Amino acid sequence: MVFFIIGGRMKKSLKMKVLKKQRIAVLVGHNSKKTGVFSGGIREWNYNRDLAKEICTHSRTFGILSRVFYRTYDQEISREIGNAYREIAAYNPDMVLDLHCNGFIDPGANGCEMLTNGGHESTRIGESLCDYITHEFGTKNRGAKILGRHENGGLSVYAYSDTPACAHIPIIVCEPFFLTNPKEREMFCSESGRIRLARAILSGAACYWHDRKKRILPWDHKK
């Protein structure tokens, strides 16, 4: 039995059964020294550290195994990211979820987006995550975007896939909201908002894995 989030509540999907437990490697973006976006008294790294713990706390409910990984500060960022992905490789995950928050000089910038390298179905997983997150919070769906290797975030989405033994693993840089947007910050950064986000992410992953041929959105089902 798989659980999906619909309107903030957990409902059972009778049509989907867990065939095997999938593994998500949850990587907390940035590091404890260089923490990323800072807005409204909240640091991106601190928020995503707590979100990663929530994902792991709730993942088994969705038939998913998960483990949290961290980056250790290095003056050479490519080495920092590479070291983290070498640890992740030993876990042999079915997906890497690299947690971030968006930020922009305009506080009105808003919405959810997923960044990928466009390969190995990562874009379709990203679309599923966006669908569930934006349905849960009623925010703008900016979709899954393919990054170039040298764009901001490109180091993450290409680092793991550059390892031949792991080239088939999808990597998604998850940017579910703008920390610099006061309304989104209020919605997502409360304890209840963080739990809702963790469950929405897990719902999107479970939905994708249990119906790869077509995207099932439970709220669209006819009664």
pLDDT at position 82 is 82
Confirm whether 131 is domain-assigned: yes
Q: Give the strand pairing for 95-99 and 64-70.
A: unpaired
pLDDT at position 25 is 95
Residue percentage of the chain with pLDDT more than 90: 60
Taking only the tens place, the pLDDT of each residue in 135-170 is 999 999 999 998 766 555 555 555 555 555 556 788
- Residues 19, 223: contact at Cβ < 8 Å? no
pLDDT at position 204 is 95
Record the pTM.
0.85
Q: In this structure, what CATH number is given to the domain that contains residue 48?
A: 3.40.630.40
SS3 state at 152: coil
State how far the Cα of 129 lies from the Cα of 52, in Å rounded to an integer.
Answer: 15
Confirm whether 5 is domain-assigned: no
How many domains does the chain contain in total?
1
Confirm whether 201 is domain-assigned: yes
pLDDT at position 118 is 79
pLDDT at position 8 is 52
pLDDT at position 165 is 52
pLDDT at position 3 is 47
Q: Give the strand pairing for 2-6 and 9-13.
A: antiparallel
Confirm whether 217 is domain-assigned: no
pLDDT at position 155 is 54
Confirm whether 223 is domain-assigned: no
Q: Which residues of the chain have pLDDT under 70?
A: 1-20, 120, 148-167, 212-223
- Residues 81, 93: contact at Cβ < 8 Å? no
Residue 82 exposed, middle or buried by CB count within 10 Å (0-12, 13-18, 19+): middle
Confirm whether 4 is domain-assigned: no
State how far the Cα of 74 lies from the Cα of 8, in Å rounded to an integer.
Answer: 39
pLDDT at position 149 is 62
Confirm whether 12 is domain-assigned: no
pLDDT at position 217 is 60
Domain span including residue 85: 21-211
pLDDT at position 17 is 47
Confirm whether 165 is domain-assigned: yes
State how far the Cα of 180 lies from the Cα of 40, in Å rounded to an integer.
Answer: 7
